[in-house]
Chains A and B, each alone.
Chain A
């Protein structure tokens, strides 16, 4: 709580301080259950009572949430609220951190993700990820997109691979810009193009779910608009979970929005509801910009 208070002080204008003090006295009990509609009838991924620890420090407290099929779920909340940690649990990217421990149940279509017998390689082929900073491989554009299909052995013929590369680049609306220089380096593209290349690389594997961890935070507004458009198109075929710092972005791209606060899932509701008539006072305080 102390940390939040500090950031508040730096961000708030003096006249709102009174309001804040008033608010902090009336802060609802965080231990109460998530309000809104965390569950879905056609869940692609289901998360039940998940706790995440970094060594002894608990980063996520008892989170339950469904991500519906072909749905875009946005996760918002102040810095350090655990939304990225939560996202990375969904394809076990946290495995590479030795001190990280996940408890509770996470399933992808009834398959337990944290089953010790489960192989993470096929899991990550089904649940792809796009990162905060565009991270193309220092290889050609073609090889970037073809890498996933190649390692998973999706095709044996060159013509098929060409087709996958073209389709993926088209879906990522990058094809028109790069079709004449497929064999030049992926790192030579602009930031926005690089991020779309990373999205193309992710969808080339044909995942069912795409996780996006603040995909636009390193991009300018025009590139951001393109990615947001792309997310809307992709939701026709993929289930998308996106972490974002921009509430406008969450409002524009998502069907449902989940608000995290200090490692707890405070509220999940239809995006429109969250931004017009939030159920929880903390959500309201956050979206009206009283802290963040």
Chain B
């Protein structure tokens, strides 16, 4: 018998070591995923923890009298009079009536800060909708001031309530209102209906969402057709030579160019040379198109390349022209891949901030844009603006806006995955 161990003995000896190595290899992968998930969970808990309160807004109930004299209205059918009337005056009057013991002038001014300084607009809207309210006395729920809202929301905090500018006398009045059931927490519809505002309780993301939508529309309408056309030319028609290699290298380079440079380019070309206005979704869309194009071209080329050559040969073999081959066979088969690339490119563009700062979409804009030629801001820029604001109530609104933006991104990326799975064909 030979003293040399047999093959099977050697194999068995090493087996345990091999399995251990394999288990370690697998563990590295699991650890990476766990780390990624941990970061994601941390991000989400932080944002949701800070932002969920923004979806609730406190309202104060007051007995408001639409007194024609106090408002200064003598003809209720005159829209100019309705617009110019002193609504804030009757709000103040209602507050004085609710707390009649406040005499001091300074203390009165503090009292007025119980409700939003924009409450007058809500009353105006009520009166414009229903003229018969003039002269009537009714109880109205008015939006609480942001300081009051923050204070009430922080009442349950373990660390103690955040009083801020709400002083003791004001706190007592709020306790009084709460005891009387005249303070109510409601879903914050204002946040989804209004444009930006200096007053946190009046600020909303509708303007930013619409601005983002208009910008994305311009980006999609331009970048998808241009990107697909470029990809088709490069894959199907372009000769393989130094020039096409150069073009390919440059497309890949463009995909890696910092986005702020595209912003500078946009300022120089669209605003400088073509004389377009600043802050327009049109200009923003053009800049983001430049930025998204490389992504769409690269993914479309990959999708076209993935169409099996046997399908092309089949089409050519029965006498299809090159264009018929592309339109009838290559494009339908490559479409899921192209759409996925386009959606991922758009999702990137939706979260892009830097180039839009350059072209002035960072301006304070209250109106909700009605088209690509109305000044607008976009969601990520709105987040940037609010995160810079000193009011504490903007902190929760910043987080809430981030949640809305993440919601859009999740929807878009899910759509990309669904599209890929749904339209993927087997051959």
Which residues of A line the B interface, CB within 8 A? 91, 93, 96, 98, 120-125, 128-131, 133, 135-138, 147-148, 151-152, 187, 198, 201-202, 205
| Min CB gap A53→B, angstroms | 18
Determine the distance from Cα of A96 to Cα of B321 in the docked complex, in whole angstroms: 12
Determine the distance from Cα of A135 to Cα of B318 in the docked complex, in whole angstroms: 12
7 A-B contacts (beta carbon < 8 Å): A121-B320, A123-B319, A124-B317, A125-B318, A138-B427, A151-B324, A201-B314
B240 in the interface, Cβ–Cβ < 8 Å?
Answer: yes
Q: For chain B, residues 152 to 178, give those with C-beta under 8 angstroms from any C-beta of chain A.
A: none
- With A138-B427, A187-B427 already in contact, the answer to whether A131 and B318 are too (CB < 8 A) is no
Q: Is the CB of B333 within 8 A of A147?
A: no
- With A148-B319, A151-B319, A152-B319 already in contact, the answer to whether A137 and B314 are too (CB < 8 A) is yes
In the complex formed, the residue of A with least CB distance to B314 is: A135
Contact of B314 among A121, A125, A152, A198 (CB under 8 A): A198
In the complex formed, the residue of A with least CB distance to B308 is: A135
- With A137-B329, A151-B324, A187-B426 already in contact, the answer to whether A128 and B313 are too (CB < 8 A) is no
In the complex formed, the residue of B with least CB distance to A122 is: B319
Rank and list the top 6 A-B pairs by shortest CB-CB distance, nearest first. A124-B319, A135-B310, A129-B317, A125-B319, A148-B318, A135-B314
| Min CB gap A93→B, angstroms | 7
B276 in the interface, Cβ–Cβ < 8 Å?
Answer: no
B311 in the interface, Cβ–Cβ < 8 Å?
Answer: yes
Interface centre among B239, B311, B319, by most A CB within 10 Å? B319
Q: Is the CB of A93 within 8 A of B316?
A: yes
B425 in the interface, Cβ–Cβ < 8 Å?
Answer: yes
**Contact residues in B for A136 (Cβ distance below 8 Å):** 314
Given contacts A131-B317, A187-B426, A202-B318, 8 further A-B contacts (CB under 8 A): A128-B317, A130-B317, A135-B313, A137-B314, A138-B425, A138-B427, A147-B318, A201-B314
**Contact residues in A for B312 (Cβ distance below 8 Å):** 96
- With A151-B324, A187-B427 already in contact, the answer to whether A137 and B318 are too (CB < 8 A) is no
Determine the distance from Cα of A120 to Cα of B321 in the docked complex, in whole angstroms: 8
- With A151-B324, A187-B427 already in contact, the answer to whether A201 and B311 are too (CB < 8 A) is no
**Contact residues in A for B315 (Cβ distance below 8 Å):** 137, 147
Interface centre among B240, B310, B317, by most A CB within 10 Å? B317
- With A138-B333, A138-B425 already in contact, the answer to whether A205 and B318 are too (CB < 8 A) is yes
In the complex formed, the residue of B with least CB distance to A186 is: B427
Q: Is the CB of A121 within 8 A of B319?
A: yes
**Contact residues in B for A98 (Cβ distance below 8 Å):** 239-240
Determine the distance from Cα of A147 to Cα of B426 in the docked complex, in whole angstroms: 19
Determine the distance from Cα of A68 to Cα of B426 in the docked complex, in whole angstroms: 40
Q: Is the CB of A131 within 8 A of B314?
A: yes
Q: Is the CB of B319 within 8 A of A93?
A: no
Q: For chain B, residues 294 to 341, give those with C-beta under 8 angstroms from any C-beta of chain A.
A: 308, 310-321, 324, 328-329, 333
| Min CB gap A90→B, angstroms | 12
In the complex formed, the residue of A with least CB distance to B313 is: A131
| Min CB gap A96→B, angstroms | 7
- With A131-B310, A135-B310, A187-B427 already in contact, the answer to whether A93 and B318 are too (CB < 8 A) is no
In the complex formed, the residue of B with least CB distance to A205 is: B318
- With A137-B329, A151-B324 already in contact, the answer to whether A124 and B316 are too (CB < 8 A) is yes
Determine the distance from Cα of A62 to Cα of B143 in the docked complex, in whole angstroms: 93
Q: Is the CB of B321 within 8 A of A121?
A: yes
Q: Is the CB of A93 within 8 A of B317?
A: yes
Q: For chain B, residues 200 to 246, give those with C-beta under 8 angstroms from any C-beta of chain A.
A: 239-240
**Contact residues in B for A138 (Cβ distance below 8 Å):** 311, 333, 425-427
Q: Is the CB of A91 within 8 A of B324?
A: no
**Contact residues in A for B318 (Cβ distance below 8 Å):** 124-125, 128-129, 147-148, 151, 201-202, 205
| Min CB gap A264→B, angstroms | 26
Determine the distance from Cα of A127 to Cα of B119 in the docked complex, in whole angstroms: 81
Determine the distance from Cα of A121 to Cα of B314 in the docked complex, in whole angstroms: 13
Determine the distance from Cα of A29 to Cα of B303 in the docked complex, in whole angstroms: 50
